[in-house]
Structure 1
Amino acid sequence: MNQYKSLIKNSFLFAIGSIGSKAISFFMLPLYTRMLTTSDYGQLDVLQTTISLLIPLITFQAVEAVFRYSVDMRENKSASSVLMNGILLCLFGMLISLLLFPVFTRIEPFSSYLLFFYLILFFSMLNGVLKQFVRGLGKIKAFVASDLAYTASFVTFNIIFLVYLKMGLRGYFLSMVLAHLINTFILLVFGNVFKYLNFKSFSKSFMKSMLAYSVPLIPNSIMWWIIGVSDRYMLTYFLGFDAVGLYAVSHKFPSLLALLNGIFLRAWQLSAMQEYGKEGYEDFYKNIFGVLSLLLFLVTGLILLILKPLMSVFVADTFYESWKYIPFLLIGNVFQAFSSFFETNYTASKKTKGAFTTSVYGAIVNVGINLLLIPIWGIQAAAFSTMLAYLTMWLLRIFDTKKFVKIKIDWKNLILSIILIGIQIVGLYTITNIITFFIVEPILILAMLFIQRKYIKQVYNFGMNLLKELRTSAN
């Protein structure tokens, strides 16, 4: 019972911060699609995509090593070594990125926003290390506070620079830089990180240990990047920045699923590391996966139900056609969440080779389909390839992780739920009568809930038992 309560507590704390920081790009979508053109949005997405690629490469996946080793050293003086080694990797990464300066000065959109690009890159690296350090030490409140501070400041600066000063993309980037500065201050002060800032704590031998753990994760990270965002470059090449802008907006709705999973995954990683190898871990794993699949399928079904009317009022008319690409991306996000869930066994066991191998196959599927179908099928091909790539990775990890832990999956419930979501997607594209649509689609959602009733009952029983404990402790 304690393992479940710990997971729920941490999930709740992470949710407080993540609902703001991770959902901001979604809830600010009405503003962005009205203040930025499709081309602007495409350039913004390409810049952010490139930063997401560079960080794990030039820092040797420092954030992963910092988190994993800080978990082991919560009450150990070596925690300072973890932080200082992580910061040093960030500084080294920044030097590497400067070698690419001559290249970026000749390529759009980097040449137009070069200073902002480097500032955002640096603060993203630094904040990543600081956040994972305080998270690993169990300072969840400081972690959440930094997320909330970033969200509040970013929104405020966006309103000032985009709405009032009409600064366009430059205003967006300036908002991000200032929000990162505030985020850094919050982490240093409320996370009491100053206490661990000691350059004498740098350890060459410990750096080797951290790199031995993190370097094998770099290829895995690249594969995730290829599957998740490399299609932006292919769309830019074949169709231009306008297509990238539409595709980027279509990604914002599946980001709600990514938000839900991200909140859970942060807490699940802690629980998996703490419970790995203990008696009952396999049952714990199976039950949590069942509940996760229930929540993801339910949210997917609800998004599909309201997708068209929501898009008609939520984004500018020039972005409305983005709804066509959302269904495949939604299912892809479900498979991505499943794959990330199974990836925790690689992290907990510190055997990360399988994470890379399974990611490679997913990346091959993604790139192959993009190259073949984008010239023929357009933007939809990118969404379709993303879905198949994540499905491939997840299925491979199911079999590969059996070497660490044997998990039984309720395949009957899972497959039936996927089929019902598939029928719902077909209805979204084919049913033109509004009344018929809003009769058929809710019925499909109810059928899926009926299939998943086992896990609904588990959640209900756990909630009632937890409520009884709270009442007993209060008395």
Structure 2
Amino acid sequence: MLDVDHLKNLFRLTSIYSGGKIGVAVIGFALYPVYTQYLTPANFGIIGLALLVGNGARHLFTIGLNAAAFNFYHRYEGMEREEFYTTLFAFIVLLSVGWLVLFELFGPWFFERLLGVAIYDPYLRIILLATAITAVLHVIPKHRFKAAEEAEWFVLMDSGKNLSNHLVRLILIVGFSFGVTGYLLGSLAGAVIVGAGGLTFILRRVIPRFSMEKLREALVYSVPLFPHFYSHFIISMADRVLLTRLGSLGAVGVYTIGYTLAQALQMVVTSANSAIMPEFARAGDNRDAFERLPVTATYYLLFSATAALGMILFLPAVIRAFFPMDYHAAIDLIPWLGLAFFSVALYYVPMNVLSQTQRNTRIVPLLTITAAGVNIGLNLLLIPPFGITGAALSTLAAYLVLAIAVFVYSQRLNRVPYELRRTGILVGVLLALTVGEMALPVLSLGLNVAVRVIIFTAFFVLITFAGFWNNEEWAAIRGAATRVRSRFG
């Protein structure tokens, strides 16, 4: 039976999480053409490498404890909960400071040998400090908000950080010609500005108690996830490191622009996943919630497929219209990266079952490491002949392998009766229309947009004719249409 109240809450949370991400992404889209007027592809190559290092350091600074910060919220109540988060905060502070010291001692030597370029001072130093502040002051408040389904506060922190990033970058790059340094200082400024609010939230709840037992439980849950998180980082890192080694900083810069713009889709599917994660967490102890998982997954994938197709269709037109010619090679990356990030959505569903419903993640790191190995191997194989397109294909293959492996393992542990026929319709239509987009010739801007709007509309027509909607959904659609007609008729 269609649970309307559940769907309304799911839609509300998805709208809030995704709306925040989309809003920030739109601002980023508007500013990246400005940045590219002041920064060369080689400049963006350095930025891309620096942001990757920051992403990897983020996992080192938390060793997976962000997962415990979310999952353990409902395990404790009252002062027990505050003791847990106080303990977590103190440990992350000590861990982050320790890593910063190690980076200062060995970072210049290590990263020059890893990346092949000497960019630690000042670029990596800035981004590592920003990442440490984010780990210490952002992780606990954001994951508490997400666990409590206080989506508005989560989005406020997330959007505030990104908006601060862009505002400071714009001032420093355009106003003061700070170049790459200005871009990275924007990341530091965003971490500090929103971190001040995070610190206030933490200090109002911190208590003078530290529990080794609660820390041990959190580490037992989180540390096995560390290889999993780090393998995700390797999947996103290997392409740019190998492009630097096998190509040039300019190629890394063009790839970074394409990847960053396409990553708006990853932001959207990740935000929507934040909306459904509490439902998967409840399903571990609630039979009614477990029985809702198949339809929850279907609607999540419908949303993700729609977002993926929109990006695949319209992002190339945006790049062609607003970016300098030096960056137009990024257009060829968009279909592959769009499918890659839709594969991330396919992966999130069974991963939620493992991490939130079953709370069994022991084998997941091995699956993620396998996907990372596929990514590295394919990058080595495909980058020499195909350049940045080979890197995008490697990313797609890695996320597909990961989604399939996690799905198979999850179903072996606890079979969820997913609506596979409906999921197959979504995937098949998305693939067919993506192939159609790739076959389009270069058209004038107006005609190009018109054709892409027709293709986007065709998605809903095709899934309808393929039998995607069930009887209850048709009844709900007819009811909604009747209410609209009566209101405006």
Q: Same fold (TM over 0.5)?
A: yes
2:464 corresponds in structure 1 to: 450
Contact 1:66-1:83 within 8 A present in 2 as well = no
Shift of 1:220: 0.6
Contact 1:328-1:384 within 8 A present in 2 as well = yes
Q: Secondary structure at the match of 1:71?
A: coil
Q: Secondary structure at the match of 2:287?
A: coil
CA distance in 1, matches of 2:75, 2:413: 20
Shift of 1:221: 0.6
For residues 149 and 412 of structure 1, do their structure 2 counterparts lie closer, same or farther at Cα, with a shift above 3 Å needed?
Answer: closer
1:406 is the counterpart of 2:415:
yes
Output the amino acid matched with 1:54.
Answer: A
The 5 A counterparts of 1:45-444 are 45-106=48-109, 107=112, 108-126=118-136, 127-189=138-200, 192-198=201-207, 200-348=208-356, 349-432=358-441, 434=443, 438=451, 441=455
The 5 A counterparts of 1:461-472 are none
CA distance in 2, matches of 1:82, 1:466: 44
Task: Give the stretch that moved more between structures: 172-181 or 75-84.
Answer: 75-84
Shift of 1:412: 4.2
Output the amino acid matched with 2:133.
Answer: F
Shift of 1:147: 2.5
Task: Give the stretch that moved more between structures: 373-382 or 396-405.
Answer: 396-405
CA distance in 2, matches of 1:22, 1:210: 33
2:115 corresponds in structure 1 to: none
For residues 153 and 112 of structure 1, do their structure 2 counterparts lie closer, same or farther at Cα, with a shift above 3 Å needed?
Answer: closer
1:36 is the counterpart of 2:39:
yes
Task: Give the stretch that moved more between structures: 262-271 or 123-132.
Answer: 123-132
Q: Secondary structure at the match of 1:196?
A: coil
For residues 328 and 456 of structure 1, do their structure 2 counterparts lie closer, same or farther at Cα, with a shift above 3 Å needed?
Answer: farther
CA distance in 1, matches of 2:292, 2:99: 43
Q: Secondary structure at the match of 1:230?
A: helix
Task: Give the stretch that moved more between structures: 125-134 or 432-441.
Answer: 432-441
In structure 1, stretches of 5+ residues that fail to align are 470-475
Q: Secondary structure at the match of 2:177?
A: coil
CA distance in 2, matches of 1:458, 1:227: 41
CA distance in 1, matches of 2:421, 2:236: 28
Shift of 1:391: 1.0
Contact 2:50-2:123 within 8 A present in 1 as well = no
Output the amino acid matched with 2:459.
Answer: I
Q: Percent identity?
A: 18
Contact 2:20-2:155 within 8 A present in 1 as well = yes
Contact 1:232-1:244 within 8 A present in 2 as well = yes
CA distance in 1, matches of 2:259, 2:431: 19
1:4 corresponds in structure 2 to: 7
For normalisation by structure 2, the TM-score amounts to: 0.86
CA distance in 2, matches of 1:244, 1:343: 31
For residues 346 and 27 of structure 1, do their structure 2 counterparts lie closer, same or farther at Cα, with a shift above 3 Å needed?
Answer: farther
Deviations 1:271-326 (A, max 9, x none): 21123342234441111221222222223333333343221123222111101111
Output the amino acid matched with 1:143.
Answer: F
Shift of 1:193: 2.8
Q: Secondary structure at the match of 1:72?
A: coil
CA distance in 2, matches of 1:217, 1:155: 32
CA distance in 2, matches of 1:462, 1:76: 45
Deviations 1:351-394 (A, max 9, x none): 11132232122112111111112112211111111111111111
